[in-house]
Amino acid sequence: MQASNILSVARDTISNEAKAVEKLQDYLNDEFAHAVQHIYNSKGRVIITGIGKSAIIATKIVATLNSTGTPAIFMHAADAIHGDLGTILKDDTVICISKSGNTPEIKVLVPLIKNFKNTLIGITGNKDSFLGKQSDYVLNAYIDKEACPNNLAPTTSTTAQLVLGDALAVCLLHLRGFSSKDFAKYHPGGALGKKLYLRISDITSENQKPQVTPNTSINKVIIEISEKMLGVTAVIENEEIVGIITDGDIRRMLTKNEDFSQLKAKDIMGASPKTIDNHAMAVDAMDILEENGISQLIAKDNKGKYAGIVHLHNLIKEGII
């Protein structure tokens, strides 16, 4: 195939799936809303099951629900009839995903779920199927055709299933009033979690705390900046922050003065330095640094006293930037 042909197939695939997803809006009805309300009011978990590609989609929906405050467990439809039915507890809601709704495993599994008297939600492309007729709530995932040219490989159908699962999860998220703080509880790792929970104090507590007085000699200022390895030092007088000296200030001083033996910190410091509360979120420091085109911030405690330094490199290391 020529590159142009490959791109044409790719565009047709995306167009096919996009149109199918768009049509899902037309299939939404009160049954969808009632299914969401049932899950929200349920005391149990959500058990999601399926076979083949639908099982793979089920695992993703489970992950999305768990990360947004709705406890969920995946149960493979084939394994369910060989012992995994024990996964289902009294108050659990079962979601069964199947394009046709008539696969042999589904026909065996669904009556067993009904015998347990658990509420069954079916996600299927065939409302008149075995699954559709047996479900307490049916979520219509009908598609006109698969993106596969033979209309065989699950492509558009699994996309539709996934989108309905996302819609369920987001509706439940809204009902629970699930906030970014709640999200952080379930995502403590990685850059995303750090943006939601990492505070300035978590950084300053690990950094050294360079400081000089206004009357400190330039030689000692250079030594302090070099030893503390943050490219900066705070200037402190009577426990108050009165200035800041960066390695840039040192370089500018050297270009202007051949002899700096008589200079003091107060002679080259920048007054009114940019500061941030030590209990603020680390992501807030990133905004201040970007807005002002600087690399370091002085952190203050709740009494306005010097608490430490936050460097751009700290935010990069933590994945905030």
Helix runs in 95-206, H state only: 104-115, 130-134, 156-176, 180-186, 190-197, 200-204
pLDDT at 178: 84
Cβ atoms within 10 Å, residue 203? 23
Residues 6+ apart with CB under 8 A from 62: 46, 48, 72, 73, 74
The SS3 of residue 130 is helix
Task: State the pLDDT at residue 48.
Answer: 98
Tell whether residue 38 is among the known ligand binding residues: no
What confidence score (pLDDT) does residue 319 get?
Answer: 80
Distance CA 175, CA 179 (A): 11
What is the β-pairing status of strands 240-246 and 232-237?
A: antiparallel
Hey, how many other C-beta atoms are within 10 angstroms of the C-beta on 49?
31
How many other CB atoms are found less than 10 A from the CB of residue 75? 24
**pLDDT given for residue 208 in this prediction:** 93
Query: For the chain, which residues score pLDDT lower than 70?
Result: 184-185, 187-194, 196
User: Distance between CA atoms of 266 and 121, rounded to whole angstroms?
Assistant: 72
In whole angstroms, what is the distance from residue 87 CA to residue 80 CA? Answer: 8
User: CB-based burial of residue 86 (10 Å sphere; 0-12 exposed, 13-18 middle, 19+ buried)?
Assistant: exposed
User: Hey, what domains does the chain have and what are their CATH numbers?
Assistant: 3-178 (3.40.50.10490), 200-317 (3.10.580.10)
Q: What is the pLDDT of residue 317?
A: 86
The SS3 of residue 177 is coil
pLDDT at 187: 66
Please provide the size of the chain in residues: 321
pLDDT of 282 reads 87
Q: What is the pLDDT of residue 191?
A: 58
Q: Are strands 296-300 and 275-277 parallel, antiparallel or unpaired?
A: parallel
Cβ burial 211-239 (10 Å sphere, 16+ → b, else e)? bbeeebebeebbebbeebebbbbbbbeee
The pair phi, psi for residue 169, each rounded to 5°, is -65, -45
